[in-house]
Amino acid sequence: MKTFNVPTTYRSPLISAIKQQRKADDKLKKDFSPTRIDLGPIQFFLARHFGFCYGVENAIEIAFRTVEENPGKKIFLLSEMIHNPFVNQDLQALGVRFLMDTHGRQIVPFEEISADDIVLIPAFGTTIAIEKKLRELGIPIEKYDTTCPFVEKVWNRSEQIAAKGYSIVVHGKPTHEETRATFSHSAVNAPTVVVNDMKETIELAEYIKGEKPADQFYFEFAGRFSEGFDIKKDLQRFGVVNQTTMLASDTQAIADYLKKVVMEHHGLNETNISERFADTRDTLCYATNDNQTAVAGMLEQEADLAIVIGGRNSSNTSHLVELCEDVLPTYFIRSEEDILSANELLHANWKTREEAVINGWLPASRPVRILVTSGASCPDSMVEGVLRKIASLVEGSRSL
């Protein structure tokens, strides 16, 4: 796989060495057990896969190279490059300005942009409407487009099945930048609707089966369907794609559930199900899947707690927290700075993003066993920083 030139401050010689050794020992990626780091009174267990993915490294390389190669030019980002506050702060410190926040609210009016300026499209991609607006301003968006190739793969797959007459169901968080972009690119080719979770999927199935009044759909899914969407006919034939950072198991469960509903409602079987339902399993992101599978493998290790590192608004990171919380005490932090002391830690609720200081987070028992992973937009240097900070708080720990 291609290697990228990202700032050395995001790298960690320690973490890189561990990842390279695991890769050499497990070329086929079949071993999802964690890496054990024994420091005596403290033992860390690092997930097999974590940290920067292909799409994130690609975006970071393009962004920092663009700044370096265009001194004196005004450079804008449509919104956050990735969902990591430290990377975004670094870009802002270099003079890059955000045009919108993560919810799509305008910060800098488009009227302030000229054809001489540079506009970077973030890793999540953007909507067709915004692409059109930038082109009208004379901005060459293709030159500075950092959209993740795996997000584009979802768009391409949507276009392919739309050409065969299928509508699209998108599994994603409706307000997330990536879901808004995927919805836009899908809706231009086919009737499209967004579901956030299995609960909403079950509600949608009621309309597919004709068990709920059709008119009610337009209120229940307001803002989630494409213009002209006809609930009576547009879900007679469809496929499911996802926001790439959702839980892969959730997307698969949603697709399997809707497939079963379609089979039962239309009297189909595995031989002829393609008449009504498109197979889109190949759109699941490899990195999301690897990181989530690695967490499952890590959780087989007996431990006292888990630490998950990443941005508060990082979707893929929040799902790693979700997986860990089902098994043992888990703390969602941004960096070593959230570890206030051996007694206090600043933790975020992955659902609400509300922060709270947790007292007594570090058990008194020795050795203390800690599972560690990070999101796809978290630099490895931050993971190393967390390991060193925790080790410094445990008396008698060997140095890393």
Q: DSSP label at 164?
A: T
**pLDDT tens readout for residues 150-199:** 999 999 999 999 999 999 999 999 999 999 999 999 999 999 999 999 99
- Decide if domain 151-284 falls under CATH 3.40.1010.20: yes
C-alpha span between 12 and 381 (Å, rounded): 5
- Per-residue pLDDT, averaged over 313-319, amounts to 93
Residue 243: is its pLDDT beyond 80? yes
- Which pLDDT score is estimated for 247? 87
In the residue annotation, 178 being an active-site residue is answered as yes
- Decide if domain 55-144 falls under CATH 3.40.50.11270: yes
- Which pLDDT score is estimated for 1? 63
- The pLDDT confidence band at residue 103, using thresholds 50, 70 and 90, is confident
- Which pLDDT score is estimated for 249? 87
Identical fold at 8-53+287-393 and 151-284?
yes
**Structural domain boundaries in the chain:** 8-53+287-393, 55-144, 151-284
pTM across the whole model: 0.91
Nearest to 347 by CA among 307, 382, 394: 307
Of the residues 80, 131, 177, 178, which is catalytic? 178
CATH fold for domain 8-53+287-393: Cobalt-precorrin-4 Transmethylase; domain 1 (3.40.1010)
Element (H, E) at 37: strand 35-38
**pLDDT tens readout for residues 35-78:** 999 999 999 999 999 999 999 999 999 999 999 999 999 999 99
**pLDDT tens readout for residues 249-261:** 899 999 999 999 9
- Which pLDDT score is estimated for 308? 98
C-alpha span between 6 and 54 (Å, rounded): 12
Nearest to 299 by CA among 331, 323, 272: 323
- Per-residue pLDDT, averaged over 11-30, amounts to 95
- Which pLDDT score is estimated for 145? 94
- The pLDDT confidence band at residue 395, using thresholds 50, 70 and 90, is very high
Are the CB atoms for 370 and 304 separated by under 8 Å?
A: yes
